Structure 1
């Protein structure tokens, strides 16, 4: 028995115990990573600990920090190592930037805090401390840096001098431009567009300090040639005023809530950026705002990389439970790290993971926990190329005391002409322009062909970021329910008239493809046996399968089939010698087999 058990365990995947990472082990890994990623550098022993996470109160006694930041003492470069091998080993790195030890940019500080929360959530999971998958173990044992795939050169700008020269003062103090305005200005500098804005930015009053901001007429030229990519060295007043003008316009365009330097800083809603760029700055109508939690890991990676492949920097937001701030993605590597420009004069710029979790885990249902809720992106930001606008509905998980997870029902069995109830929500709209049109629930077959509409609603000028929760929708199916049938939601594209399916993040448990009848495989669920003594050919077939037998001349011998529930028997002893065709049909699926009956042995 002992040998048998050993044999069985040898068949299982190899697992290691998840554990905390000491500072010594983390430093050793950091040195290995630098050697692998930058072999021409020699003084790796000069790597020293710069920062660890500050959330000591959130850790259990004896628990390691969530992360360690190691930096080179004699040159630029840093690596952020996780404090637990239940997550990815290297969380961020750079071979040519420095990491700030104090006065971290608020967006970087919140990103690190979000990573800490993600790791803390992982440590609290019931499975923590039990096993570590092969995939993750491999990443810890063979740490390597990826190769750059796309690197877009974006400006290493900041929020204070000279960028805030034209920003209003609060109680006699200068104010920051704000991370959202800075990220927007960096993207505009990359495209060097527009030549000049148009229209008038409306007056408003700031929310926090009730500071009145006068209307700002546009039409003045943006002096792109006098906006260097870095203001770290000395610069002319012309260059200072050029970038300050752009920053002021960006901040006013999104109604920034200005705050004094040394205080709470300047805030703005990133959702206002796209509309502002399209209205005042001549940017394409295809630009839009999307939310990470609405997409699977693979979908999100494809979208982000696709934007960068098209040479479009992405304005991204990420953070923690305390808030989210904007920054710019301007590249990615072969290991799914994205190059981040924090908008802090280049400090901390480098390659970062968007989640600390193993990609294999994210693709298997983990979906980043609550951390993904703090991430969003502005995509399609480019000079106006005549885009007609993007329409996009997504199901997202939501709760208001009642949990909504796409299309759900308490019913388990569905019958024709028998009414039942569906809960629908949250059905969110994330297009680039307001939507007017019909949204429907449909009974479809396994191939997505619509059999009938079950429910519809009309939307009129539905703005992006809004949507519907529809509890207790009563529907009745009147068409036959066949194998693989389901319920989906769809809308008809206003411009193209093409039917578009509403999808959702299945990794987060969001159901957009609601199964009415599980799909049956005729081939996989059919078995056949033959008894030489009795000469009985016996088939086990799925329910509702029609079995027919034909002779070589087309004669129908189906009467020879004896059916008892899912078992079909054919007495071949009663058939003449010859070749026969056995045809199985289940709804739209057909399978044909030939068999021969020999002459009786004398």
Structure 2
């Protein structure tokens, strides 16, 4: 018995020694993963020094003071003994300089090193917006879960720590131009001027209850779009938690003066500016059925979605999504796609799954930290990680995050622009060649495929009697909103002679809901007739200063008067008189197009009995004409009124050099001598 007892005591002694060694090893490993305040400041400084031209706001911090303002701790106990529990840092918050931003550094090397940062302002640990508090609480919960559930340190050190402590550190380049939303609105004084009054509210709210984060978020997004000019409908309700405030109403069918809404309100803001901002914030608060309370107002994200859609004319494509339905990569790519296309995101999150907070997500950097506008008068706005730990299946704390995407105005329209027809007169066997632009006016970056139809009509209005000749499928979006088309349409062979219209109709199948359904169709008039029997030409084109002084090789001054001469010639046997219009244009080449400047026009009555007429016309070169080489074009039948046997021989040109010398004096007009430029 004595021998067995001795052996048992020895075994327990060895076990205690082993446990002690194991505890020491665990403590050593834990210490190796822990980031103390000194190391955090070093890392923050290194990060802040990593400036690139793409992110000039991150100033060099070599001579900028780094001040630790907060260390959030978690309790860790490897032996489940409360007396031996240790306080470990979850994260450190370091202010940079006097008012040059802050950096949030993780307290554990298994987490992302830089959880957030701002390049302006400072961090006051005693006045943190509840939205940011929830985000910080998520960071703490994630890191605490890893410390507790990963005692064997199977999660390796995040490789970003190595980058931040190496000789060369990559900076966090901002890929969107910093961020989209420039306003820095809040829930307090001036912003909440139309919200219910309550004597219990704190001083910063100016006697009115807070407006609520949801209304501030959607108001700032609406201000970004400056939409709508006015809303639709009205709504009345009584706040469920404060029935003593009575019934609250808002008529949304009113003008919203976006031009009077500054980025930020202050004591110097005008009454008109304060009124404009306070009105939109109150109207959105009522629209989302805000439960006003003296100590904090609230509303749901689903109410925000419905209000934007039905009261303020935002896209029916708006969706409320939750991160739990996506992988970490998919979620971030979804947000980035919105931001890359200029669409701010309504973001919501919480740290307990019960009470959420809303804020604006409007940018991101190259390390997938997203820019949040917390709706706290600009305070604490910056770039933040969506999660502290690269999510693993067992440690995902981001399931409380969600977003309203596709928040853009319900303004979508498909139209036709710049339509022109190559020949206004066609004959048997000819087809119609035309050019135009397929156009999308709207904000949706997703490509859609409306059909464009081409119809033959006897008038300029599309109706059921018109003949569909051809259909074309477009591919349009806000990023690719115009497609140039050049197309030839076959004309039916049994068409009778006369005047017709070729109609081009956007979304001719009515597959898409548009802001304006009346502007989809344009009409191009043309005539169909027997083959031409005559032709018109221009001969003997000349340019002179007057009847006795030709231009020759001399330089013409802009603003100068010229005498144009030419002969209009008729070729054919028809004795019926035609009234032929001739046009005179200033062009940069020898071809007539829409960019040429008309100098004048003339009329010639011609027929087989009167085959030519000599014309002269006094014209003036426009004063604004820049110096250079030009052509004066003499164009017969320039409005294409008649069918000709040859449509390509109607133009004659005359080359001229033009000098723009609007001031004949020295540049400072103070010289004793003047240089005269021009014809004597």
When normalised by structure 2's length, the TM-score is: 0.51
Q: Which position in structure 1 is the counterpart of 2:72?
A: 53
- CA distance, structure 2, for counterparts of residue 176 and residue 23 of structure 1: 36
Establish whether residue 269 from structure 1 lines up as the match of residue 295 from structure 2.
no
When normalised by structure 1's length, the TM-score is: 0.57
Does the 8 A contact of 2:374 with 2:380 survive in 1? yes
Q: Which position in structure 1 is the counterpart of 2:404?
A: 378
Match of 1:106 among 130, 140, 145: 130
Does the 8 A contact of 2:346 with 2:358 survive in 1? yes
Q: Which position in structure 1 is the counterpart of 2:573?
A: none
SS of the residue corresponding to residue 282 of structure 1 reads coil
Q: Which position in structure 1 is the counterpart of 2:341?
A: 310
- CA distance, structure 1, for counterparts of residue 268 and residue 233 of structure 2: 34
> Gaps spanning 5+ residues in structure 2: where?
1-28, 52-56, 202-207, 414-510, 513-680
- CA distance, structure 1, for counterparts of residue 196 and residue 71 of structure 2: 36
State the 1:118 CA deviation.
1.3
Does the 8 A contact of 1:323 with 1:374 survive in 2? no
- CA distance, structure 2, for counterparts of residue 245 and residue 386 of structure 1: 27
- CA distance, structure 2, for counterparts of residue 159 and residue 57 of structure 1: 38
Q: Is the alpha carbon distance of 1:31 and 1:93 closer, same or farther for their aligned partners in structure 2, counting shifts above 3 Å? A: same
Establish whether residue 245 from structure 1 lines up as the match of residue 244 from structure 2.
no
Q: Is the alpha carbon distance of 1:199 and 1:120 closer, same or farther for their aligned partners in structure 2, counting shifts above 3 Å? A: same
Q: How much is the aligned-residue C-alpha RMSD, in angstroms?
A: 2.7
Establish whether residue 94 from structure 1 lines up as the match of residue 118 from structure 2.
yes
Residues 454-492 of structure 1 deviation map (CA, whole Å, 9 limit, x = unaligned): xxxxxxxxxxxxxxxxxxxxxxxxxxxxxxxxxxxxxxx
* Aligned ranges 1:132-531 → 2 under 5 Å: 132-133=156-157, 135=159, 138-139=162-163, 141-142=165-166, 144-150=170-176, 151-170=179-198, 173=201, 174-207=208-241, 211-232=245-266, 234-260=268-294, 263=295, 265-321=296-352, 323-358=355-390, 362=391, 365-366=392-393, 369=396, 371-386=397-412
Moved more, 321-330 or 127-136: 127-136
Q: Is the alpha carbon distance of 1:148 and 1:126 closer, same or farther for their aligned partners in structure 2, counting shifts above 3 Å? A: closer
Does the 8 A contact of 1:274 with 1:288 survive in 2? yes
- CA distance, structure 2, for counterparts of residue 134 and residue 168 of structure 1: 49
SS of the residue corresponding to residue 264 of structure 2 reads coil
Does the 8 A contact of 1:107 with 1:342 survive in 2? yes
Residues 417-457 of structure 1 deviation map (CA, whole Å, 9 limit, x = unaligned): xxxxxxxxxxxxxxxxxxxxxxxxxxxxxxxxxxxxxxxxx
State the 1:248 CA deviation.
0.4
State the 1:217 CA deviation.
1.8
SS of the residue corresponding to residue 320 of structure 1 reads coil
- CA distance, structure 1, for counterparts of residue 313 and residue 334 of structure 2: 23
- CA distance, structure 2, for counterparts of residue 344 and residue 39 of structure 1: 22
Residues 91-144 of structure 1 deviation map (CA, whole Å, 9 limit, x = unaligned): 001223332332111101111112111111111113553551574554554564
Moved more, 242-251 or 66-75: 66-75
Q: Which position in structure 2 is the counterpart of 1:537?
A: none
SS of the residue corresponding to residue 267 of structure 1 reads coil
- CA distance, structure 1, for counterparts of residue 86 and residue 151 of structure 2: 19
Q: Is the alpha carbon distance of 1:233 and 1:351 closer, same or farther for their aligned partners in structure 2, counting shifts above 3 Å? A: farther
Larger radius of gyration: 2
Q: Which position in structure 1 is the counterpart of 2:42?
A: 28
Q: Which position in structure 2 is the counterpart of 1:513?
A: none
Residues 482-526 of structure 1 deviation map (CA, whole Å, 9 limit, x = unaligned): xxxxxxxxxxxxx99xxxxxxxxxxxxxxxxxxxxxxxxxxxxxx
- CA distance, structure 1, for counterparts of residue 264 and residue 58 of structure 2: 28
State the 1:241 CA deviation.
0.9
SS of the residue corresponding to residue 86 of structure 2 reads coil
- CA distance, structure 1, for counterparts of residue 153 and residue 123 of structure 2: 31
Does the 8 A contact of 1:156 with 1:345 survive in 2? yes
- CA distance, structure 2, for counterparts of residue 132 and residue 139 of structure 1: 15
State the 1:212 CA deviation.
2.9
- CA distance, structure 1, for counterparts of residue 101 and residue 218 of structure 2: 26
Residues 557-578 of structure 1 deviation map (CA, whole Å, 9 limit, x = unaligned): xxxxxxxxxxxxxxxxxxxxxx
- CA distance, structure 1, for counterparts of residue 151 and residue 162 of structure 2: 19
- CA distance, structure 1, for counterparts of residue 158 and residue 289 of structure 2: 49
Does the 8 A contact of 1:202 with 1:216 survive in 2? yes
State the 1:372 CA deviation.
1.3
Residues 183-240 of structure 1 deviation map (CA, whole Å, 9 limit, x = unaligned): 1111011011111111011323323556433332221211111110112462111111
State the 1:155 CA deviation.
0.8
Does the 8 A contact of 2:344 with 2:361 survive in 1? yes
Equivalent pairs counted in the alignment come to 366
